[in-house]
Amino acid sequence: MVVLGSSSSCCSVAIVGAVLVLVLVLNGADLCNGGKTSTFVRKVEKTVDMPPDSDVFRVPPGYNAPQQVHITQGDHVGKGVIVSWVTPDEPGSSEVLYWSENSEHKQKAKGKVNRYKFYNYTSGYIHHCTINNLMYNTKYYYEVGAGHTVRQFWFITPPEVGPDVPYTFGLIGDLGQSFDSNRTLTHYENNPQKGQTVLFVGDLSYADNYPNHDNVRWDTWGRFVERSVAYQPWIWTAGNHEIDFAPEIGENQPFKPFKNRYHVPYRASNSTAPFWYSIKRASAYIIVLSSYSAYGKYTPQYKWLEQELPKVNRTETPWLIVLMHSPWYNSYNYHYMEGETMRVMYEQWFVTYKVDVVFAGHVHAYERSERVSNIAYNIVNGLCVPVDDQSAPVYITIGDGGNLEGLATNMTEPQPKYSAYREASFGHAIFDIKNRTHAYYNWHRNQDGYAVEADSMWFFNRIWHPVDDSTSV
């Protein structure tokens, strides 16, 4: 027993203190020397939601005109499309008429309609219709609103699934409906690389930031993004702002607005819930996970992912992409380490199956990691910091869509070794698959011209070309 205040104890404390300082310095040396923290300084200004009478929220003219039209993939392999829309005045028809660009023969698909109530709000009539057995790589026109006001849109189906099929994905997260959100979407639409499908990493409308989770803001958001999502699929990931759990106003069912409005093809991959599922698209296998559903051992999500990863045939779909909302590697002082328990559960699998890239949101800024893992640690070996691991994915945080909560500007210092590039700006990204070995990735900040790349890297596929693609010196 050491008696505080004795000369021997003071000496002991001094020695222990010196050792602790040395350990911290050594650990700091290992953690420091990260990549690049951008020197770009965005003008500091408040992020403000667009007012309800903004033109981007305009209700389409005509009696019972379909609005909030959006599409997503409707099956596992890209031959199906889910078409969704809302009619405000009466149910109307749930049919979709569709035809290929080179055909005048219109086909019909029959959908379903539902409504929901949330506190003092009652939704319009929400329609979902799945079109199946489409031809690959074909432009289709489609019409909704039969019987009253008919509106026409189009989409292009992906190429047939295959190992060397090029395809271009857009990346957007945490979008919301602010003036900055509009800049992000406009920037994406005008990007000369022309994304064909958006991988959306969660947090859609931010309606829950309004009193009583004002669901009118779900309607305005749906009309805002229609200009993109009615013409190309957005692949949905549920974020924390989709939970809408509000027992204080009697709303005890999580995800109610999201589940009613945004359908996904989860049953096609044997998932038991719409929050985790998978699809194939061109040469990519995309796995969507839920940061806000149970993911511990033996939970439905855990058991599904355990069975799903061995199914991925990298000869057919070389690129393995994972979407989630809460990032596992994040060097901002916002939501710091919130994804840690999920990382502990699943990171070993990501390394074992050589996931190429993980996209997340949640932190309202941008960050790209090197290929690292933190799976070596056990209770006695002390290996508790991330290390370079060429079997690990690159982790990209892209929660920078522009929502009213504003930017995450406070970063942890020093920049961790695993962090390759970080910047507190709003923007979007492009993941452009060239073939089975190479993909080109670039991130665009809203303040730049449409073709300017603020960050970029060549991805080398972990199975077909597993060479070091790190970018930090």
Residue 85, judged by CB atoms within 10 A of its CB (0-12, 13-18, 19+), counts as: buried
* CA-derived radius of gyration, the chain: 24
321 CB neighbour count, 10 Å cutoff: 25
Q: What is the torsional sign of CA 209, 183, 198, 471? A: negative
Q: Which of 461, 206, 251 is nearest to 356 (CA)?
A: 461
| Kind plus residue range of the DSSP H or E element containing 117 | strand 117-118
Q: Which of 376, 372, 375, 377 is nearest to 387 (CA)?
A: 372
Beta bridge partners, 142, equal 98, 153
CA 280/CA 263 separation, integer angstroms: 17
**Angle between the N-to-C axes of helices 300-308 and 340-352, in degrees from 0 to 180, rounded to the nearest 10:** 20
Cβ pair 425, 452 in contact under 8 A: no
CA 391/CA 372 separation, integer angstroms: 8
Q: Which of 220, 279, 277, 214 is nearest to 241 (CA)?
A: 214
Cβ pair 359, 396 in contact under 8 A: yes
Q: How far is CA 391 from the centre of its chain?
A: 22
CA 159/CA 389 separation, integer angstroms: 33
**Of 70, 241, 335, 362, which one is the catalytic site residue?**
335
CA 429/CA 323 separation, integer angstroms: 14
CA distances from 70 to 126, 226, 415 (A): 11, 6, 40
Q: Is 438 a known active-site residue?
A: no
CA 68/CA 70 separation, integer angstroms: 6
Q: Own/partner pairs for 254-260, CB < 8 Å, 24+ apart?
A: 254/292, 256/116, 256/118, 257/116, 257/118, 257/123, 257/207, 257/213, 257/215, 257/218, 258/204, 260/114, 260/116, 260/123, 260/126
**DSSP label of 80:** -
Q: How far is CA 191 from the centre of its chain?
A: 19
**Under DSSP, is residue 216 helix (H, G, I), strand (E, B) or coil?**
helix
Question: Which residues participate in catalysis according to the annotation?
Answer: 335
